[in-house]
Each structure stands twice: as C-alpha cells, then as structure tokens.
Structure 1
Amino acid sequence: MREPVIWEIPLPEITLNEVFQAEGADYSRRPPQPRTVKLHQRMIDEAAGLVRPTAIWVEVDVTGTGVGELFLEDGYKFSSSLLPKAAGTADKMLLIAITIGTAIEDRITEYKEAGKISETFTLDACATVYVAKAGMTAMNRLEETYHREGLKTTFPMGPGHSYWQGLDDMQVIFHFLKAEQIGLHLNDSNLIIPRKSVAMVMGAGTDLPDFQGKTHCDFCSLQTTCPLSKASCRIDSQNLREL
C-alpha cells in the first residue's frame, strides 16, 4: 500500500441550472421569477468564497474475490454485489475521499438558525453541486494518472447504494485513507463528517471487464431520486440522503 496522497482541487464552476436541478426544480415550462434568480446567483457567489475542495486517495492491493466480496491487503474486504463483477480482476483498488470543507456547512447552519429558509435551501443545493463537481474533477485526475501508466480503470463506486448495501465498508475505506488528514471522520452511522463530502473506490489494472459507457449510476436503484444525478453529476456519496 502506498501512502495516502492529498490533492487541492481547483474550484469548479457551477451554474444556475445545476443548482436548480440539485433542488429538483423544473423551469422547462416557465422561467424562474427574477427574485429567485437573484437569490440563487447570490448564493452561488457566496458559496464560491466558502468551499475548499480537497481530495485524499490511496492505492490498495486486491488479493482475491468471493461471492459478493472483494478481498484487499491486510485481511480487509469489501462486501458488494457489483465490485467482484466490475473490479474482480483489478490489481489495485483506488480509494478516494473528497470534501469541500466545513465553512459552507457552518454558513448553512447560520441561515437555518436565523430562519432564512430560502437561503438555507439554496446554499445547501450549491454545496451539493460543488462537492459533486469537485468529486468528478478528482476522479478524472485519478483516472488520467493511471491511464498514463498504461492501466485501465473501472467506473467509480461507493458504499450505500443498492449494489453495495450498508455503510460498514466506509470503515475499511477510512482505515486505508487516513482521511483525518483533510478533516474527515465517520460518525456512529458511518456517514462522513463534514456532511458535504464523498468517498468512492475504483479498480485499476491491465485486465478489466468492458463496461464502456457505464457508470455506477446504471447499477443503482436511486437513479430517479439522486440529487447529484439531477445536478448532471455522475458521482455520488455514501451519505446521499444527507446531501
């Protein structure tokens, strides 16, 4: 196992439409009210000054597979119906966590406590889009790193989806990541704190199954309800329902 690597992620650009989609708003038939646009633009601008996207990742050896299990170095394993199919022939698993920090969550809490419901809801949606897009940036960079070494990679996957029931394996991911280095920890329910953070895994190797054009969303029953899919983002988190 290599030592975990920390990356500072460039601040992504987010759009008004992406925030509307993250909220589940549909303005295809009529445009939003000017005051709604003004509020959302103000929250996007405020969010840009609060988020600090950071990623931490590590490479872990794959030692074998079982029925619904993927075995890792040091006697650890992941329990998932999808991982053995998608990454059973991988040489390595790449574990990664991404966060946008605590400042935006603190601000959301301030708005909530002040009874500013519109600001609370809108800033929360902005944070959802930011963590999704920061996650995509980090995963793309990780893919490019291994592709330059001549290795293939799987699509990213994460605990808590229908193909990976339960969050117990978050303990495995955090064991290897040592994510406290970027301010992350798990609560008693194995959800990441701070809340606007994600953790994913991806297989790497020379001989991987061909899932060209597929993402983990294609194997997840949350496709129609996922707020990050609504934001046109194809990365998700273990604490999806909390986002």
Structure 2
Amino acid sequence: MPIIRDIPLSLKTREVLRREGFGGHSKVRPEIKSLVLELLASVKKAHLLEPAVAYEIYTITEMSHRQLSLEGDLVVQGPLLPSLLPKAKELAVVVCTIGPRLEKQVTDYINRDEPLRGLLLDGIGSAAVDSLTQEVCKFMAGEASSRGYQASSPISPGMPGLPITEQWRLLEMVPAREIGASLTPLAIMSPRKSTSMVMGLGPQMTRWTGAEVCAHCSLRKTCPYRIPA
C-alpha cells in the first residue's frame, strides 16, 4: 500500500486568514496579519509540517443505492458515493496528515499563556491540511489519467450521506499507522490536523468546488470558515 512523504505545501496568506475565521484581508488588523506572517516563517524554520499520505486504489465490484462493494470483500456504506460516483470503476481511499509537531507547538503556546499565537498557529495547520488535500487531488488526477480515467473531487466521512463512522473502515483500508494517523474512540482523527477521503476514478467523473460543498453544508449561513462562491 503506497505512502507519500515530503509533499511541498503552498500556504497562501489569504487561505490562512480564512482558516482563522477572517473573510478577507480588510477585516484583519495589521498586527494580526504581521503575527500570521511571523508564525508562517516559524513553521517553515522549525519544520513543523510533516505532510504524509497513505492511500490505496480499489476496484469497484458492485454498486447499490446504499453502498459500494470493493475487491477483497470490502464495503463502504452510505448513499452519497453511489449518487455522486455512478460511473466510477475504482475508488481511491486516502488518509493524510501534517503530523503532530504543529499541534504540539499550539499546545505549548496555550500552556505558556499565549492563546493568540496558539489560535493563529492552529489556523495555519488547518490551511496546511487544505493544501495537502489539493496536492492529493492533483496526484490522484495523474493516477486516474494513467488508467485512462478521470478523478472525482474528494468526499470525506461526515458529509451528508457518508457517515463519520466510515472513517474506521477507511483507516483500515490504507496503512494509516505508518504515517502516524489513527482515530480516537469518538472517530476523531489523531493528529487532529489529518483527514480521510475517497475519490472515484472512472470516465466522466463528477467534480465540484469547495465553494459548492460549503453551499450545501447545514452550517453555510454561520460558518466563519466557509469558502465564498
């Protein structure tokens, strides 16, 4: 089962600020922007990001309106995948993480009574996961192309129609522990700055933007992190 490490990430200030809950630069005080830039530099200098990806691509053997059946007698439950990926021939299962170092530094800032630094660094971590997800999508597009297919946009447990409990199944389908990723008893990923996803591979795969995902989210009216259309 493949593992990818040392993935270059692009952290744009705009995306970092969105992950801090700011909708745009005009809403941010100059001292906050300055601190974000300082923290971004410290993240790079201290090598706080250790991005890693574990994945596997499975052949889809059967599809019903409630689940996907995969080679090896594996099943992914939930109506979302069949509805979005009716033409998929294969399913890429992916777990990715930026590692624990940034999270430990956030905790250190909090313990040192520097909550603002901790909060802003946490937002940088979230933006790093977003960037890692984008890199995974590019990689999977290449994998799909080599098969004569297209790759769908990513779908993660917790989206309506794909229960969060399916994370247990996904982490068993890839070498997640080899990149240090696991789940708490409440199905929360550890390190926290990690994510799991699936992508359909096949002809004429459906794709959508992050803004479209946010537009269909039940928290779209109040979420400070939503991506504007």
- Which of the five TM-score ranges fits, normalised by the shorter chain? 0.7 to 0.9
Aligned position for 1:41: 37
Alignment partner of 1:55: what SS?
Answer: strand
Aligned-partner residue type, residue 18 of structure 2: Q
8 Å CA contact retained: 2:61, 2:69: yes
Q: Structure 2 length normalisation: TM-score? A: 0.87
Matched with 2:193 is 196
Q: Which runs of 4+ in 1 moved over 6 A?
A: none
Residue type of the alignment partner of 1:199: S
- Please point out which of 42, 48, 51 is paired with 1:50: 48
Identity %: 22
Q: How many residue pairs get matched?
A: 224
RMSD over aligned CA atoms reads: 2.3
Superposition deviation, residue 6 in structure 1 = 0.9
> Contact 1:50 / 1:104 at 8 angstroms: preserved in 2?
yes
Of 9, 14, 19, the match for 1:22: 19
The whole-number CA distance in structure 2 between the counterparts of 1:177 and 1:221 is: 30
Q: Which residue of 2 aligns with 1:106?
A: 104
The corresponding residue for 1:236 is: none
User: 1:18 Cα shift?
Assistant: 1.8
Measured at CA, do residues 91 and 219 of structure 1 come closer, stay the same or move farther in structure 2, by a change above 3 Å?
farther
Question: 1:1-243 counterparts in 2 under 5 A?
Answer: 4-27=1-24, 29=26, 32-48=28-44, 49-164=47-162, 166-206=163-203, 208=204, 211=206, 213=208, 217=213, 219-224=216-221, 229-230=226-227
* Offset at residue 100 of structure 1 (A): 0.6
TM-aligned CA deviation for residue 9 of structure 1: 4.3
Contact 2:176 2:182 in 1 (8 A): yes
Give the C-alpha shift of residue 75 in structure 1: 2.8
CA distance in 1, matches of 2:224, 2:179: 25
Change (3 A) 1:133 1:150: same
**Counterpart-to-counterpart distance in 1, 2:13 and 2:193:** 19
Contact 1:162–1:221 at 8 Å: present in 2 too? Answer: no
Sort the Cα spacing of 1:67 and 1:10 in 2 relative to 1 into closer, same or farther, 3 A.
closer
Structure 1 length-normalised TM: 0.82
Q: How far, CA to CA, are the matches of 1:111 and 1:184 in structure 2?
A: 23
Structure 1 residue 125: deviation in Å? Answer: 0.4
What CA deviation, in whole Å up to 9, does each residue of 1:126-183 have, x standing for no partner? 000011101111221111121132112222101111232x322112111110210111
Between the aligned partners of 1:150 and 1:139, the Cα distance in structure 2 is 16
Counterpart-to-counterpart distance in 2, 1:227 and 1:138? 25
Report the CA distance shift for 1:27/1:155 in structure 2 as closer, same or farther (over 3 A): closer
Are 1:161 and 1:221, in contact at CA under 8 Å, matched by a contact in 2?
A: no
Instruction: Tell me whether 103-112 or 10-19 shows the greater mean CA deviation.
Output: 10-19
C-alpha change, 1:39 and 1:83, in structure 2 (3 Å) is same
**Structure 2: segments with no counterpart, 5+ residues:** none
Report if aligned partners of 2:19, 2:126 keep a CA contact under 8 Å in 1: yes
